[in-house]
Structure 1
Amino acid sequence: MSDAHAAAGPHLAGSAHAAFRLLGQDVTGRGKEYSQDSHLAFLAAGGRAAVLTVADGHGAAAHFRSDLGARWAAEEFAACARRFVAGALSGEEPPGWPVRREMARDLPRRLVHGWRLRVARHEASSPAHGRAGEAPAFDAYGSTLLGVVLTRELLVCWQLGDGDITLVWNEGPPEAPLYAGQDLGDETESLCQPEAWLRARMHWRPLTGKGPPPAVLLSTDGLSKSFEDHDGFLGFARGVRDRVESEGRAQVQDKLAGWLGHAATHSGDDTTLVGAIPVPLERTTERPE
C-alpha cells in the first residue's frame, strides 16, 4: 500500500472547495538524530473529508526500526481510510449508519494486517537481527497509531497506544473522546503486539446537529507531556483552533514548528501535531489558503 504516502503528498494535501483546513508539523526531540514520529493529513472525497494520522515509533533499543514502523503505520492508515471514505461516504446512495459503523470497526484489523505484511516483506530481505529464515521481528518496528476521518456529517477516531485526539468545538470546552488518563510510564499498546487490532479504541460520532463539526487535532504524547496538566494541554488545543480562525491557516502553520520545538524542550520527546479545522459553510467555495 505504499501509494498512500505519494497520493497524500509529503505531509499535507489540500483541495479547492475544501471543507477543512489542514495543519501538520513534527519536531525531533532534544539530542535525537532523527524523529521516530510520522504523520499524514489530506483531503478525500473531493475535499469533503479530512483524513489525519499520527504514528509514534517507540524508539527504545528493542524497537530500533520503529521509525520505519511509524512511517508504515501512517501509510497503512491512510490507505485504509481512503477505502473507508470511498465505501462509506461516497456514491449516490452511501450505506446506512449500521453498515458504516461496521466498516469503521473493521478498519483496525485491516490496518494491522497491512502493517504486519510491510514488516514481513522488509524482514525477508533485511532481517532486523541479521538471521535470515527466522520469524519477522515485529517488536523492532513497534509504533502507536492515531487516526481520524472527519466530514460535516461524521467523525470517526481510532487509537492504538498513547497520544491525544482533541476535539475543539465552536462553543464549550475541548473534548478528548479517547483520553485514558495521565500516562505514568513508557509502556504503551503497540502495533507490534499479537492481534493488536483488539487493543484499538474507536470513537464513532454522527454529526447530526445544526452546528459545524469540531476542529480535530492529533498529537503524539511528546506534546501533552510538556504541559503541567491535561487542562493546560486542552487550552493549547483551543488556542491553535482560535488562531487559525483569527490569523489564518498559513500563519499558524508557519508558527507550529516553534511551538512544538518549545514543547519538545520540556518533554525531550519527538513532538508531532496534525489538525483539520472546518471552513465556514459560506467559504467552502473559496480556494484553500
Structure 2
Amino acid sequence: MSLKILSPGSGMALQDAGRVGLLRYGVPRGGALDRHAMRAANHLLGNPPDAPVLEILMQGAKLRVQEDAWVALTGADVCPAVPAWTARELKAGEVIECSAKAGGLFAYLAVPGGFQAERWFGSVSADLRIGLGAALKRGDELVFGRKLPPVSTERISRRILVEKMCRRYASNQLFSLLPGPQYEDFSKEARSTLVASEWTVSQHSDRTGYRLEGPSIDVPACIKSEPVLPGSIQVPGSGRPIVTMADGPTVGGYPKIAVFKDADRDRLAQCAPGTQISFQWAEL
C-alpha cells in the first residue's frame, strides 16, 4: 500500500513527534509543527497519536493512490477530495490534489498504521538544515504501515472528527504569553510594545523560526549563549522578534522576552505569512 508523489507542491515532509532527549547534544526536536493536527489525523484512523504523517505546505501537492486506501486529512482545508478533519476511502488511481485556498498553512495526511520510512535518532522527520534525511520529490512512493485502519470502516463512507477537536484558522490571532528568561532585562516600554502592537508573520519564516514584522523593541545587552526552547520569543539587535520553531537552534545569545504556551505553538504554526497576530500577558 502506498501513495506516489506526482508533485511535492510548495513542500511536503514526513513528520512525527520528533526527537526526544537530544537537545543537550544540539539536535533540534523537530517533528510536526502542528502537533494537534497530526494527532487528530491519526485519531481518525485509529493510529497511535504520533504515528508518522505527511505534512503538506499550502498548495500544489499531488499524490496518487496506488490501491484502494483510507486516508485522513486535518489542518488547512486544501483538498476538495478529502475535506479537513475527515477520513474516507479513495479508489486506486485517484489523485489527492491540494489545490484549494484555505485558512492555515499546513495540512496533515495520515494513512493506516502511519507511513513507513527510515528513522534518524528515532524519528522519520527530516531536518535538511542539519543534514538529517532527504527532501521528498516527484516519483517517491510513501509506504503505509498497514492495509486497513484498526477501526470499523464497514458500511462507512466517511469518518468525521468531533467538532471540539476541529480548528478553523483566522487571519487574526491572539496569543497569551509567559514571561521569558530575560523578561526583567527588558524595559517596561519594551514589554508594553510587545503586547500593545499588532504583528505580521513575515514571508521570511520557516520551520526554524517565525519572524514578526512590526515596531522595533528596545533590546537589552546580549547574553551568553544558553539553551533555547521552541516557542521562545527572541529579540535580536534589529528589535524585530523571532519565535523559535521545531527545527530552531538549541542554543542562542539573543535575549528572550517571552515564551508561548506549549499548546499555542500549534496555532502559531498555522499562521501563514501575512497573518496578523497580537499578544497579551497570561494571568499567572
TM-score, normalization by structure 1: 0.26
Q: Which has the higher contact order (CA 8 A, sep 6+)?
A: 1
User: Which structure: larger Rg?
Assistant: 2
Normalising by structure 2, report the TM-score: 0.27
Higher helix share: 1
Higher strand share: 2
